[in-house]
């Protein structure tokens, strides 16, 4: 008995530690293997012009398949990819796949702006504008149809370098959006120094806007700020029609969220071809 207890205790302590180390180690190995074996898939979620109910864009959101075929969401592997630097090759792959998809849709007459999330390490890599130019070049995507989503943290870590990168991106003709806006630390004065096109209101504010006055006030402030700076406004995490209606009445016209659709593979997108304008069947 004593022996068994001892073993159990030993096992108890070691598994906790083992789980931590093993899962991190395993996940890192899985990440590398998945990169080599192309076990990533890009899902796309529509962005909708609330006024006309038209799909005007899509956000590329990466998923990883485990060797057992389990679908892993980015929350499970992006943080480690960032820690290990694997986000740089992974991010480039997502950029390529998303631009290829947008170019394919464009060739089929579906003109959608493609939004791609860019991690701080990618953005700060020094050659980032060249990487974007290269991808645009070999996918043939119109730069006007590419939007890069970065976060406030990416801008703030080295503001001068970030500004130079943004200027170079602007010269290429691509758009830049500030994702999860309101959760970081940018000030109005700071924002106007950067050539940014879009503010994306963080979903945490949208989630509670109907019953939390301060979230509603923050949204109003962000919209006013965006309007003052001449920026486009996008709301993410829109799940209820009432949220969409209030956001639109406050001046935010581009919506993204489960109210319209969930991220899905390009093969599951369906378009109704009417006037050359893409329209998604699902959701609405
Ligand atoms: P994000 O860029 O802010 O993307 C929005 C997230 O909210 C996505 O989660 C999306 O599926 C989810 N979402 C959309 N509409 C709704 C809604 O109505 N309700 C709720 N509750 N959630 C909604 P996802 O796909 O799990 O991605 C999570 C985060 O992972 C992204 O947040 C982004 O920061 C990161 N990520 C995803 N793909 C990439 C990538 O290719 N590169 C990099 N660097 N980061 C990525
Ligand atoms: Mg995003
Ligand atoms: Mg976001
Ligand atoms: Mg987010």
Q: What share of the chain is helix, strand, coil (3-state, %, to 5)?
A: 50, 20, 30
The ligand that comes nearest to the alpha carbon of residue 256 is: 1
Residue-level pLDDT at 19? 59
Residue nearest to atom 27 of ligand 1 (CA): 74
Q: Residue 2 above 50 pLDDT?
A: no
- Testing ligand 1's pocket by substitution, the residue of 61, 125, 206 carrying the most ligand atoms inside 8 A of its CB is 61
Which tens digits make up the pLDDT trace of 131-142? 999 999 999 999
Specify the residue with its C-alpha closest to ligand 1, atom 21: 237
**Confidence band of 21 (pLDDT split at 50, 70, 90):** low
Closest by Cα among 253, 257, 174, 252 to 219 = 252
Gap from CA of 17 to ligand 2 centroid (Å):
33
Cα end-to-end distance, the chain, whole Å:
63
- What's the gap in Å between 61 CA and the centre of ligand 1? 6
What is the per-residue pLDDT across 251-283, written as a single tens digit (0 to 9) for each?
999 999 999 999 999 999 998 644 434 444 444
pLDDT at 247 over 70: yes
Query: Of all protein residues, whose CA lies closest to atom 20 belonging to ligand 1?
Result: 237
Cβ atoms within 10 Å, residue 195: 12
Nearest CA, atom 11, ligand 1: 263
117 near 110, Cβ under 8 Å?
Answer: no
Which residue's alpha carbon is at the smallest distance from atom 13 of ligand 1? 237
257 lines ligand 1 (CB under 6 A): yes
Report which of 228, 216, 238, 264 is spatially closest to residue 59, judged by C-alpha positions: 264
Decide whether any atom of ligand 1 lies within 6 Å of the 78 Cβ.
yes
Mean pLDDT of the chain: 89
Q: What number is the average pLDDT over the span 121-126?
A: 95
Distance from Cα 151 to the centre of ligand 4, integer Å: 9
pLDDT at 8 over 70: no
Decide: helix, strand or coil at residue 192. coil
CA dist 216 and 206 (Å) reads 8
Is 117 a pocket residue for ligand 1 (Cβ < 6 Å)? yes
Query: What confidence tens digit (pLDDT) does each residue in 187-232 have?
Result: 777 788 899 999 999 999 999 999 999 999 999 999 999 999 999 9
Q: What's phi and psi for 66, nearest 5 deg?
A: -75, 170
């Amino acid at each position: 008995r004593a022996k068994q207890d001892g073993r159990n205790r030993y096992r108890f302590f070691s598994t906790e530690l083992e789980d931590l180390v093993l899962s991190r180690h395993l996940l890192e190995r899985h990440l590398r293997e998945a990169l080599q074996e192309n076990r990533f898939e890009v899902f796309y979620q529509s962005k909708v012009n609330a006024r006309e109910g038209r799909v005007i864009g899509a956000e590329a959101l990466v998923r990883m398949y485990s060797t057992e075929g389990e679908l892993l969401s980015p929350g499970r592997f992006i943080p480690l990819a960032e820690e290990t630097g694997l986000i740089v090759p992974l991010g480039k792959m997502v950029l390529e796949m998303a631009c290829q998809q947008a170019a394919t849709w464009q060739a089929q007459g579906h003109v959608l702006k493609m939004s791609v999330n860019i991690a701080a390490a990618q953005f700060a890599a020094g050659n980032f504008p060249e990487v974007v130019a290269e991808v645009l070049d070999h996918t043939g995507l119109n730069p006007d149809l590419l939007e890069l989503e970065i976060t406030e943290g990416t801008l703030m870590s080295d503001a001068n370098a970030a500004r130079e990168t943004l200027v170079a991106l602007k010269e290429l003709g691509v758009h830049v959006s500030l994702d999860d806006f309101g959760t970081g630390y940018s000030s109005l004065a700071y924002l106007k120094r950067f050539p940014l096109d879009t503010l994306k209101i963080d979903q945490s504010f949208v989630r509670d806007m109907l019953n939390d006055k301060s979230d509603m006030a923050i949204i109003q402030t962000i919209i006013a700020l965006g309007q003052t700076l001449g920026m486009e406004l996008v709301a993410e995490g829109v799940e209820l029609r009432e949220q969409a209606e209030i956001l639109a009445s406050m001046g935010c016209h581009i919506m993204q969220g489960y109210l319209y659709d969930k991220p899905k593979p390009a093969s599951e997108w369906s378009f109704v071809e009417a006037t050359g304008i893409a329209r998604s069947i699902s959701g609405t």
